Structure 1
Amino acid sequence: MVQLHVKRGDESQFLFNTTVDVSLETLIKEVTALYNGKLKVERICSEIPELADHGITLPPNMQGLTDDQVTDLKLRDEWEDKCVPGGGAVFNKDDTGRRNGHAPNQRMKDVLMKTVEEAKALISKKQVQANVCVTMEMVKEALDQLRGAVMIVYPMGLPPHDPIQMEFENKEDLTGTQASLQVIPEEEAQLWWASKEMQRGKKLQDYVGKNEKTKIVVKLQKRGQGAPAREPVVSEEEQKQMMLHYYRRQEELKKLDETDDDAYLNSEWSDRQALKRQFQGLADIKWRPK
C-alpha cells in the first residue's frame, strides 16, 4: 500500500493508504471526502459543549433578543417543551442569547463531553504521529458516537434549526462563516506532490512509480489558490536533533577551552619517573599511616 501524508498548507491532516494503480480522480474524491468529514466532526464537537452548557438553540427569530424584547414581540419557543434533556434541565442562561438556557444535568453533560473527547481522538491529527491511517469508517464511527450521545441526552431529538441537528442531516449552512473557508468542494480539490499538481485523468503510478511501499507527502489545495509551499528539506524533528547536537558540541568545546593547557601533566603517562620506579619495583607502593 502507498501511504500518503496529507497536509493542508503546512499543517498535517491525516495518513491515507491507497495503491499506485488508483486513478487520481478517485483518489482526490476519497481524500477530499475524508478531509471534509473530519471538518464536520470538528464542527459538531465545537457545538456540543454549548449544548451541554446552555441547552438547545433558540429559533432564528428569537436569537440575540432580550427577555423584554421576546415578551414585547410575543414570541415563543415551541421546541422548549418538546426537546427536554433526560433527567431534567438545569437553567444556565446563555449571555449571547443563542440558546434557551435549559441545560442537561451534570450526569448527562458528562456523557456529552466524554463522547466529544472520544470522537476527537478518532480523527485527531495526532494519529499522524502514531502512524495510524484515518479512514471514512473512523469518521462515520465518530459521527455515530456523537449522534448516539445526543440521543441519550435528548431522547426527543433536537430542533431542526439546531446546528448540531443540521450537521447530522447534512443540511448545515456555513455561508459567511470561517468554517466555509475550510471546506473544499470535491470538484475544486487538487492534490500536489513535489511542487506538481497531480492531474485528474492519470494514475498515481504516473507520478510515484509502481513501488507499493512508497510514502509521500501530498498537499490538498483548493483550485485557484495557487501552488502550495514546498516541503522543507529538513523535517521539524530532524531540525530539533541537529540543534541538540550542535548545542552539545558547543558545550564540549567550551569545557575544553576552560581546561588548563598543562592539565595533562597530572596524567600517569606524563610521569618521567614512572619507568624507573617500575624497574625498581616501586610502582605500586602506597604509603598510609599505621
Structure 2
Amino acid sequence: MVVLHVKRGDESLFLYETSVTAATDTVIRELVSVFNGRLKVQRLCMEIEELAEHGTMLPSEMIGLNDDQIEELKLKDSFADRCVPMGGFSFNKDPLCRRNGQQPNEAMRKVLANAMNDAKAMIDKKLVKTSTTLTLKIVEEALNILRGAVTIVYPMKLPPYDTIQMEFVNMEDLSGTQASKEVIEPSKAQMWFAGRQVLPGKKLNEYLGSNDKTKVVVKLNQLGEGPPGREQVMTEQFRRQMMAAEYRRQEELKKLEQDDDDEYLNSTWADSGSLKRQAHGLEDVRFRFGK
C-alpha cells in the first residue's frame, strides 16, 4: 500500500494509506473527508471547552447581551431548565455572553476533558512522525467519543441551536467565520503531486508509478487557490546536516594548514633564495629609509 503524506500548504497534517490502483476521484474524496473531519473534531473540542466552563449556548437573540438588556427586552432561555448538566451545576458567567453560565460539576468537567484529550490524540499532526496513518473511521471514532461524553453530561441533549449539537447533526453554519476558510468544499477539492494536479477520472499509478510500497507527499487545496508551492529539494534537517558537515571539513582543512609537518617551510635553511643572497653578500642586510 502506498502512503500519502498529506499537506495543506506547507503544513504537515496526516498520513493516509491507499493503493496505486485506486481511482483518483475516490482518493481525493476520502482525503477531503478526513481533512474536514479533523477540522470538525478541533472545532468541537474548542466549543466543548466552553461548554465545560460556561454551560449551554444561549438563544441567538440573547447572545452578546448583558443581564440588564436581557431583562429589559424580557428575553428568556427556555432550555436553561431543561438542559441541566448531570450532577447539578454552579454559576460561572461567560464573559463573551454566549453561554448561560451553568457550569457542570468537577466530575462532569473531567469526563469532557478526558474525551477531548482522547479525540485530539487520535487526529494529532504528531502522528506523522510516528508513521501512524489516519482513516475516516478513526475520525468518526473521535467524533463518537466527544458525542458520548456530551451525552453523559447532558443526557437530555443540548439545545438544538447549540453549536456543539449542530456539529453533531452536521447542521453547523460556518458562514462568516474563520473556520469557513479552512474547510475544503468537496466539489472544489484538488490534489497535487510533484507540482502536477492529480486529475479525476484516472488511476493513482498514472502519477505515482506502479511501486505500491512507497511514501509520497501530496497537497490539498481547492479551485481558485492556484497550485501549491513545491516541496523543498532538501528538508531543513538535511540542510543542517550538510552545513554541519561542511563546517567540519573547513575546520579539518585549517588544522592541516597549521600542521607541524610543514613548519620547516618557514625555516631559513629551506629558503630557496638564501644561497643566492649569501653569494651576493646580501644576507642579513638591513635597509634604512631617510637620513
Instruction: State the shift of 1:238 in Å.
Output: 1.6
In structure 2, what is the Cα distance between the partners aligned to 1:159 and 1:240?
54
**1:68 alignment partner in structure 2:** 68
Cα distance, 1:208 vs. partner? 1.4
Q: Return the offset for 1:245.
A: 3.5
SS in 1 for 2:152: helix
- Tell me which moved more, 182-191 or 237-246: 237-246
The separation in 2 between residues aligned to 1:158 and 1:250, in whole angstroms, is 67
- Are 2:134 and 1:170 aligned? no
TM-score between both structures, scaled by the size of structure 2: 0.85
Give per-residue Cα distances to partners, 1:66-118, cap 9 Å, x unaligned: 10111111111011001111111011111111111111111211111121111
Write the deviation string for residues 240-260 of structure 1: whole angstroms up to 9, x where unpaired.
Answer: 333444455566667x49988
- Secondary structure of the 2:100 match is coil
Secondary structure, in 3 states, of the residue corresponding to 2:59?
coil
Find the counterpart in structure 1 of residue 191 from structure 2. Answer: 191
Corresponding residue SS for 1:75: coil
Residue in 2 that maps onto 1:239: 239
1:1-290 mapped onto 2 (5 Å cutoff): 1-246=1-246, 248=248, 256=255, 261=260
Q: C-alpha distance in 2, partners of 1:148/1:246?
A: 56
Deviation at 1:41, TM superposition (A): 0.6
Residue of structure 2 in register with 1:285 after alignment: none
Quickly say closer, same or farther: Cα 1:160–1:251, change in 2 above 3 A: farther
1:239 deviates by 2.4
Distance 1:240 1:98, change over 3 A: same
The alpha-carbon deviation at position 196 of structure 1 amounts to 0.6
RMSD of aligned Cα (Å): 2.1
Q: Give the gaps of 5 or more residues in structure 1.
A: 265-290
Deviations 1:157-215 (A, max 9, x none): 11111111100000000001010011111110011011110111111111112111122
Deviates more, 1:244-253 or 1:62-71: 244-253
Of all paired residues, the percent bearing the same amino acid is: 55
Unpaired segments ≥5 residues, structure 2: 264-291
TM value normalised by structure 1: 0.86
Tell me the alpha carbon deviations over residues 212-246 of structure 1, each in whole angstroms, 9 at most, x when there is no partner. Answer: 11221110010111110000011122223334444
Q: Which stretch of structure 1 is more off in the superposition, 232-241 or 66-75?
A: 232-241
> 1:106 & 1:252 partners in 2: Cα distance?
63
Of the two, which has the highest radius of gyration? 2
**Residue 216 of structure 2: SS of its match in structure 1?**
strand
Give 3-state SS (helix, strand or coil) of 2:49's partner: helix
Q: Which residue of 2 aligns with 1:280?
A: none
Q: What is the total number of aligned residue pairs between the two structures?
A: 264
Q: Distance in 1 between matches of 2:65 and 2:155?
A: 28
Q: Distance in 1 between matches of 2:78 and 2:253?
A: 77
